[in-house]
Structure 1
Amino acid sequence: MDSEESLTAQLGEGALAQHRPEPEAREERPAGAFVHQISVSGFRGIGAEATLKITPFPGITVVSGRNGSGKSSFAEALEFALTGQSYRWRNKGAKLWQDNWRNLHSPDPCSVSVEFAVEDSTTTSIGAEWAAGAELGDAKHWSQVMREKQQEGVSALGWTNAIEIHRPILSYDEIGGLLDQEPSKLYDALAKLLALDEIQDAEARLDALFKQKSQPGDMAKAALKQLKSQVQESDDPRSAELVKLLRKRPPNLDAVAELISGSTSGAESVVVRLDAIANTVGPDVQHAAALAASLRDALSTSRGLADESMRTAELRADLLRKALEFHSADAEPAACPVCGEGTLTADWAEHTRAFLETEQGQLAMYSEARAQVNQLEQQARALLTSVPMVTAIDGAELTSLPAYQVAQAAAAQIPHTVEGLPSYLESTIPAVQASLDTLRTEATELSAALRDSWAPIATATLAWLGLERDAQQSTELVDRISKARNWVRNHSGELRNERLRPISEGARAIWSQLRQESNVEISDIALEGSRNRRRAVLQGTVDGQETSALSVMSQGELHALALALFLPRATAAPSPFRFVVLDDPIQAMDPAKIDGFLNVLTGIAKNRQVIVFSHDDRLPTAIRQRSIPAQLLEVRREQGSQVTVKFADVPARRFVDDARALVSDRTLSDDVRRQVLPGFFRFAIEAAARQAFYTQRSLHGDKQIETEELWHGATTTADYISLVLETMAGTTPSVTSWCKLRPHRGTSVGIATRGFHHGAHVSHADVNDLKSTVDDILATR
């Protein structure tokens, strides 16, 4: 279910099936981001630049202020910097948002920026800036890790998908809209959180791959059906052989290929032999005529030179040459060896040589004529013997074959004497060529006729062979894909509910705290159906009666339920965000649910930074009444959109105020004050130390789990102060030395330690020393 590439690797040739590893007993959390500060200028209700600083570690921060004070502008700035939009204005009309996003009094410069403290990293910032006169959509988004180059957009941080899935920011409008939409929208929201789109994507990938890999098989089946119909209508003898081969399952593809190629087909060999006849080359008629004329001329020339006198001259020349040899052998003139009467003198020899030169020219002409006759005779006989023989073909009737065979046989009766060859060439060769041309034409037409009846079947069979081979090769793969697809389909519901279970349990647990006096109890949260029939189902009971929870809930209950569904999604372990931002979450809550809501926030704040924007003072009041450690900030808006932020309450300073109130309370006995007041000193110093320690380590990029281990490993007030000093200095300084630097520190720490165990008298001056000591510790941030 990972990706297209993963599926390809799984099904690749020779690939082995891979299995997801079993989850380890302890899952490491991803590095998380805490909000440290939000700076805004010229945006929404904030004119000149204003900065909201928040302690970047787990805990509750409440940002309060009346309507129009600018507090929600900080929340919208954070949302816009992260997502590039605002849920509140997205659903209230684009024109209203676009016309009112710039501040009326100070529209320029216009920018928003958010600084995060990131675990196991360093400070990271994101923001958006607008040039003068620029439209909302022209914002330049950026991100930057400290000491690194600023990047365009926020995608470089790798938070894009997490923002959509875990949605760490939720406004009052979004809380209301979460359950007001059709069930499919809630299904989609939960599906993204649970990564159910992985299941849907896996099913879609398998469907697409099954269709792709099954295509050769489907095409082969369709082609085979059409081929069988075509073969049944053919009278060709090869069609009957093909029908037999196609009936076998699976068919012998090699045998079919041999039939089509003709290696096992008699009918195909007939075509091959007809083609051979059609391509037979006969004697050249023009060449034969030219050869006959040349031979006739050579014979005529030879006859003209070959009379009796030429023969006598030839004998005489031979005799005279021998006489010259005889003369040359004897130094003295000798008598003629033939007649014995004459004398072979030097004059005779000279006269004889001159006579022989004249006779030799005539003899050369005669020899040349005889040589040409012999050469032309050989060519003529070779031409006549080269006339090809053609035999009958079984299964193919050639009506012109007998005529050609007669002409070929006649050409084979070659005359013995050279004188008959010219006329013989002129009479037989044209007859042979004419009959061969007729035979070749008939063979060509018969071959074409045979091919025309078989060619469409052969072509169709070859096409089917290719498809069938592909189909047989992919059969095993298609079977594997089919099994995988069926498994995903059959188990998608199980996978869906398995992933939903922890979210469902978390939502029901939160609802059990939020419901307070509500008589609606959530019994089950399920995702049903798929595609166009998908929906989220929330089953519940009202006074024990089963019903659909959404249909019986009031608006306040729906808001509380939306929070119950949202918070597990926003605080899921894989989220890289260690903060949850809620804008006006208690607006629709009745007083009974606020106490339960505070319980929920307190539980989340153990390992998450919870930031609540609210114009309702009921939440800060409940925090004060229950002495819950929290950072309380107040936003005020002065004339000209001047926005300021001040601490309304810091946990450590709250303990200082409580100590001051006890010192001033005359209704308490001295003994009670001696025993109780040192406890407030200890609580104030340790609360200040915790805030400074967590803030420092968060800004340094230290892991939260390591910070918590160090904090919980300390056991005394001095240990907590030492953690703060060590984080700042990088070494382990002496708490005693730190106390001696300023007298009020030693006094306050002494009351918080020794006085906590043995009691101590506390004066107004001592409370002032406590305030100074707390300020010193907080100032080390």
Structure 2
Amino acid sequence: MVPKKQRRAVLSWEDVAAASEELAPEARSLLQEIAGELGAAGTSQAEAAASRGPWFLRSLEVQGHVGIGVTPLRLEFLPRPGIVVVSARNGIGKTSAADALRHVLSNGEPRRYQLAEANLHHPERQIAAVVTDGVSDAEMTCGGQGPVSWKNSDGSSGAIPPDWRVAYEKFSPVLLYPEISPVIEQPGVLHTYLYDGIPIDFLTNLLARVDKIRTVGRAADRKVAEAYDRAVTVLSRVGMAATLVSRMRECGATPTLEATAELRAAVAELPASAPAQPSLVPVWAVDAGLVAECVKAARRVERARASIVSGADVVRRALGQLLHETHTYPETDSADDICPVCATPGVRWRDRAQHTVADLDAGLGELRDAERTLKSQLQALASAFPNPLLPATRTALRHPAIKDGDPFLARWDRLIDEVKGLMSNATPQLLEHLCTESRAISAWYSGSRTALLVNYEESLNERVHVRQQVESWLATLETHRVECDRGIRAVKLAKAVEQWIRDARAMLFEPIAGRVTQLWTELSNDSDVVITDMRLSGGVRQARKVDIDMTVGDVIVKSGPDAPNVLSTGQRNALMLATYLPRATQPESPFRFLVLDDPVHAFDAWRVRYLAQLLAAQAATYQIIVLSHDERLWQELRAIGQYVQHIRLDRPPNEASTVLTRDITSPGLGYLEDLERVLDAEREVPLGTDSAITAMTLAICRQALDTEAGLYVEVLGRRAGLSDDELRAARDRAGDSRQQLQLLNDYAQKLGRQPIDLALYDRTIADLNKGGHGRSPEKAKPQRRMQWLKETRRIIKAIHKLGN
């Protein structure tokens, strides 16, 4: 690794220009050429996106996406730094909402995780997210499977700006747990995730362009080298051009222009034609299975012929004529059963003739079928025999290098003659003889053919072919010389750019790595696993990895890919967050919002507390939106005095496709608002008896007070250092509203805060407690009920003041 003081900060095109002075002239000239082509990219797109903003999230509306059905889910946010907790039970739609936001903000980029996107409740998807930079809003929308569109406050619209897409990919303001969890398991993914967050895209673009030139150059080099190798091989076999061979080997596959001119002059003296290739037919083969089928068919024909007498067909025709209905012969012969052939009476000649005809029909039918089968097999067997010899082939096979040429040529001719009569005289013996002879001739011809082709290839080594090969190489070199030259320069330039990338990623990752180790320490200060350093290493194209140095107890572990394997699930999740936050909150990011889906997964109470402290510190400059089913993070945030907007998602009974939202930042005030609406309506249209309205008012007021007091008992108790068990026991002992308020005052005093003066609300508190035990005041007037509501609201606001 280059020492920090000696590293060159190649972080812009100006730095590239300065660093290029140290390159070799050929590499520098190629760099200047590429830089001219990429001149418009002097500023990275991420930096262009950063020139706008900072962006905050104003709203999100989702319909028909994953688990959210026909009723739109709408979330409203204050576009400013702070924390919003969106809580819900599992399966309500938290991740569906976060995924919908990711979809539009990322311009519909494919997910890095598996998700069944088809909606079971509503087929038409509509997503709309509004962001603002404080001056104007921008709305990103997506309908169905179509593209994401961008609309400005002034009404102008179009596609998502390219700089926004690049910035989103680099800084990833939305973190979904299923998307980031594999990062900890797969070091290559972790490297990509971290590497993508470093603003050196101009260097990677430069390397990609250099690699393209190098790839083209390598392909050209291969073509020239192949032509060169062929020429040298042929030339070296001649034995008459040793000087030319020596000169070619001295110059190599890509000689200079001067050397190329010398070689052309030497080659011009060589003959310019090549010998003709011998005319040879392909080798044939005899299929043993097909031969066996033909022999079988021939034997069947023999059997069929042997089963009938000679002239059977003539006899069959004669008998047919005698038996035909129109045949006439003397009536007396017929009446006296006299045979029309031999004139013998009483022999039942007609029956005997019919039987004879049937026997002849069967025998002749079998013979014809057997002959048809044999003919079909013989036609298929035709490819097992050679074609007649062409004069050119006969001449070639009489080459002196061919052994037994004339005897086999005579056998070839004889075989052709014998095959001609095969269709009319195919006996099993003849078939076997011809096929055996064909195999023998084919074996001889195959060897002879190979010998002739080898002889031809050797003849090409004569000087006439040498000239063609050498000229072909020089022509290939001329065609690809520029590509080869640029490829050589690209190889040298690539080494320099690779080193610039290594140095730049090391320098730029240092603050991120420092922040990662710091966050890990804060999230895991109760663990004996300590991460001391993290580095991006390996190649700049492949074999990327992340080296993580850590100590486990007194054991020093230095293992890149394997380091996370020693961590528990909670620790890996902590490492995930420690990795994510520094990347997402780089100063160059135009986003001032972070959306975290289930960040407390597998966290124990201590780690939740540490995370709350980290998020509270980050919330000074960032809008942080946390989606979780776990209420502990909200409690810990409130315990450290962080104001948190709290939104609850829920599905009403029997309406699985509907997701409702409710702001429960102050649930007690929410109850009172509901009660106030009921009482206002009651003044217009009575809802029941006075006693019923009184009981309802007391019940809701007490529920509002107890809910708010209970929340802030948790907040102040945690702030005062009480454990979960201590808080639980204390709340169990506080049986009514007054006792809960007193417990809240006790914790406030421990924290040095002015307690609530409960004497101011003594009568209302007493009435609420009585109402909780079924002893509502008799004949309470509407003014009295409004007094309970107003004083309950004052007590809740006093609780807020106490806890904030």
User: TM-score with structure 2 length normalisation?
Assistant: 0.48
Bigger-Rg structure (1/2): 1
